[in-house]
Structure 1
């Protein structure tokens, strides 16, 4: 079995926010492969199905971003899934919108969800798909930025990023890590500059993450 996890915060107030792009990739895969992810277990919404001939558990931790590792550790232990069969998808502010990068190991890069997963697993050696949400504009608090919704202008690029990340999962399952990385880690499109005057009315009040 493979475990594919997307990170985000639970609750309708966080739907469509930058920090929840991992959830959106999981939702895309679930819809495309008709996998029901409404079962709640191990502090996560999950669903089991077949993707590219592999038995897969799609996972959306419901612990809030900063505690994602609690759920991931429980799931991997319960289902006896080796780290080689685990992949996590999350947002990255260092990448242009719509860009996807695969990495087999590395630090959290300031992402609290990944930091917590590394702490609970005791290693940073696991496959991750980073989906670019664009750099934080000057004058913005990081929490405000990642908990803001995407602007209408950003949505086409973000949708492209979601589809690219879903395709990266398919490549990983069908052809392995090396091919998935070679096909996914191509030159990024030129980053569009964000205005520091984006409406902060888009920002949610709570700041988990």
Structure 2
């Protein structure tokens, strides 16, 4: 049975719950609600396991805070004996408009501190990442306030459908492969 490690990036704590920077956490929480699996607190993360179409999916929401996400990723790759080719990191992206997805088989962190830390800890950029567009409607010098800010009401209304598409892209990656998922979910 193929095993996959799906890592949603975010920050723990109620003050971050609905912030743009927690798009990765929100996507995994939405999948858990849809498919009836539960997260539990384990070492360095909230984790959940779920089988889908003959695949074992291991979900991780690091509790190390965004900038130290690599520790949890490396730990669970080793703990679950999962190859880096079967790692998918789900993260927010301010360079994509809200509602857009971008799945890539590898790449640079693009200014994202969570991805930068994963790159450093794994010593590679050769892992898949699914970027969830949050837009960039902020003035100069206000990026931190924007990404740590809550979604406005009009985007909150669209968020469930958007997160469902993220979940569909994750499942396509695990069951049909990255090329199929990129062809069907990149916009």
Q: Under TM normalisation by the shorter chain, which class is it?
A: over 0.9
**8 Å CA contact 1:50, 1:56 repeated in 2:** yes
What's the Cα RMSD here? 1.2
Match of 1:166 in 2: 167
Unaligned runs of 5+ in 1: 187-209
What displacement does 1:147 show? Answer: 0.4
**Secondary structure of the structure 1 residue equivalent to 2:154:** coil
> CA–CA distance in 2 between the matches of 1:160 and 1:91?
16
Alignment of 1:145-164 (within 5 A): 145-164=146-165
- Residues 1:180 and 2:181 are matched in the alignment: yes
Unaligned runs of 5+ in 2: none
> CA–CA distance in 2 between the matches of 1:86 and 1:108?
15
Match of 1:114 in 2: 115
> CA–CA distance in 2 between the matches of 1:118 and 1:52?
30
What displacement does 1:51 show? Answer: 2.4
Further displaced range: 112-121 or 24-33: 24-33
Further displaced range: 84-93 or 31-40: 31-40
> CA–CA distance in 2 between the matches of 1:173 and 1:73?
19
Match of 2:55 in 1: 54
What displacement does 1:84 show? Answer: 1.2
What displacement does 1:163 show? Answer: 1.5
**Secondary structure of the structure 2 residue equivalent to 1:102:** strand
Q: Aligned residue pairs: how many? A: 185
Match of 1:200 in 2: none
**8 Å CA contact 1:69, 1:119 repeated in 2:** yes
What displacement does 1:150 show? Answer: 0.5
> CA–CA distance in 1 between the matches of 2:140 and 2:84?
39
Match of 2:88 in 1: 87
| TM-score of the aligned structures, taking structure 2 as reference length | 0.94
> CA–CA distance in 2 between the matches of 1:147 and 1:66?
13
> CA–CA distance in 2 between the matches of 1:172 and 1:139?
36
| TM-score of the aligned structures, taking structure 1 as reference length | 0.85
More helix by share: 2
> CA–CA distance in 2 between the matches of 1:52 and 1:151?
36
- The one of 26, 29, 48 equivalent to 2:28 is 26
**Secondary structure of the structure 1 residue equivalent to 2:170:** helix
Match of 1:36 in 2: 38
**Secondary structure of the structure 2 residue equivalent to 1:58:** strand
> CA–CA distance in 1 between the matches of 2:104 and 2:176?
16
